[in-house]
Amino acid sequence: MKFLISVLFFATLAVSGCAYEATIKSAGAGKQHADHHSVEAKGVCADANALPSNQCAKTITATFDGKGVLWIAWVNNEYLYVQSSADKGTSFTAPVRVNAKPEAIAADGESRPKIKLDAQGNIYLTWVLTLDKKRSTYVRFSRSTARDGGRDSSRQSSAFSPSMEVRSVVIGQESMRPNDGGKRFSEPVTVNDNIEIIRHRFDSLAVGKNGEIFIAWLDDRDTEAAKKAGQDFKGLSLYYAWSDDGGEHFYPNKRIATHTCECCRLDTAIAPDNTPVVTWRHIFAGGMRDHALVKFSDWNTPGDTHRLGQDNWKIDACPHHGPGLSIADSGVYHAVWFSNSPTNQGLFYAYSTDSGRHFSTPLNFGKEGAGHPHVLALGPRVNVVWQEFDGTHNVIKLIKSADDGKSWSMPEVIAQTALSGDQPFLVSDGQKMYLSWKTQQQDYQLNLIDK
């Protein structure tokens, strides 16, 4: 039944948004983090009455549709906006507001809205809503579909909470029905069916080949239940929900794993057999915060948990560095991550040819001041980008492989700024790969990598 709906570390540990945990940062990342929050908004970004602009967004999430059109999602003054570009980011359509009512949307660092499209051009969005109680959040969902043809998507079942239902947004006298692909969006709904005022955060969104929608997130419900029972429970749990009807309904939440790290992003990719694959930072026995991976056997059934790397990083704090995952059409898995264990420090890459059960010997490609790597595969070509701070500039570096990750180019600088910069991501139109990046209070950048 469905419901509706390496790096040099300094020793100082500071309190973060992770309950019961401390935050740790690299020397470079710490400088970037400080700069990011110390620069005041200027010009149009300081004007609360100005028209929304992606220049004022802290983060921008990008993706291409099947026709090569670029889509971006960003937050400005508690509203989520979507724009598209038919000329690879040279110009954009006017921003379209997703949520009719303001929401405290998480859009900073490793927590940011997600945007994906299916083969029919239907647009799906997820984000994290920050609640009034400290460290309490919900996972939200909205859609804009090209296939509804004007029909009302607000059908309701008495078996489920109306708050979980995808309904039309009404602004004034106009019914905003989700039927015209990016011009109007459905009313946001809460995906987590546990509605306690606790943590449901760090969402990850993926779309299957047949339009299946998969949403995973870190969830506090098991931690809270253990606390009430007087039991010890390390970290959070990993939950998911999925839809096979374009997000009109979702199957009930199910758990993938317990004892996940609290404050690191997830990543999800779709395998060639059209099943989800999720990777995250896990708390293994002995307090080792290394990475884990699960491949689903079908959309309802998570498989076994496999360990990604053997860094043996024992730490009772929040690294704020989640992994990255990309799966080539050939079935080769490509993963990147950060570690600061006594033996493995910096950024790492590894590949798997057996659906994530085993990975190659990790390649250490990032050193002091490096963080937040992202990987993307297109056929045998694999690109990895990451962020560094060299003492004066935020630098984006790149390495390339043309043979499924077996050999790599030397690192090269592909972007830099003396201002605060967002984390780098890679996107592809199916032919070429691009760097997606944003610097503070400046235009969004989409830079061609394959020349």
Read off the pLDDT band of 406 (50, 70, 90). Answer: very high
pLDDT at position 170 is 30
The sign of the torsion formed by the CA atoms of 95, 182, 107, 412 equals negative
Read off the pLDDT band of 27 (50, 70, 90). Answer: very low
pLDDT at position 250 is 98
In whole angstroms, give the CA distance from residue 162 to residue 170: 16
Give 314-332 pLDDT, tens digit per residue: 998 889 999 999 999 999 9
pLDDT at position 162 is 32
Mean pLDDT of 81-109: 96
Question: Are 201 and 190 within 8 A, CB to CB?
Answer: no
Mean pLDDT of 13-42: 42
Q: How far from 296 is each of 213, 267, 331, 377, CA to CA, in Å?
A: 14, 14, 14, 20
In whole angstroms, give the CA distance from residue 261 to residue 24: 13
Give 286-305 pLDDT, tens digit per residue: 999 999 999 999 999 999 99
Give 262-290 pLDDT, tens digit per residue: 999 999 999 999 999 999 999 999 999 99
Is a pLDDT exceeding 70 seen at residue 10?
A: no
pLDDT at position 41 is 65
Give 177-198 pLDDT, tens digit per residue: 334 568 899 999 999 999 999 9
pLDDT at position 2 is 54
Neighbours of 18 (CB within 10 A): 20
pLDDT at position 451 is 67
Share of the chain above pLDDT 90, in %: 74
pLDDT at position 47 is 80
Of residues 263 and 39, more confidence is placed in 263
Alpha-carbon Rg for the chain, nearest whole angstrom, is: 21
Question: Are 193 and 226 within 8 A, CB to CB?
Answer: no
Give 425-447 pLDDT, tens digit per residue: 999 999 999 999 999 888 899 99
pLDDT at position 369 is 85
pLDDT at position 169 is 31
Predicted TM-score (pTM) of this structure: 0.87
Read off the pLDDT band of 450 (50, 70, 90). Answer: confident
Question: What strand order describes the sheet that includes 345-352?
Answer: 324-327, 333-340, 345-352, 363-366
Average pLDDT score over the chain:
85
Please spell the DSSP secondary structure of 177-220, one letter per residue.
Answer: -S-SSSS--PPPEE--S--SSS-EEEEEEEE-TTS-EEEEEEE-
pLDDT at position 233 is 96
Is a pLDDT exceeding 70 seen at residue 394?
A: yes
Name the residue among 149, 189, 148 with its Cα closest to residue 169.
189
Name the residue among 44, 8, 211, 34 with its Cα closest to residue 124.
211
pLDDT at position 21 is 43
Is a pLDDT exceeding 90 seen at residue 135?
A: no
Read off the pLDDT band of 368 (50, 70, 90). Answer: confident
Read off the pLDDT band of 33 (50, 70, 90). Answer: very low
Give 168-182 pLDDT, tens digit per residue: 333 233 333 334 568
Is a pLDDT exceeding 90 seen at residue 143?
A: yes
pLDDT at position 39 is 54
Is a pLDDT exceeding 60 seen at residue 152?
A: no
Share of the chain above pLDDT 70, in %: 82
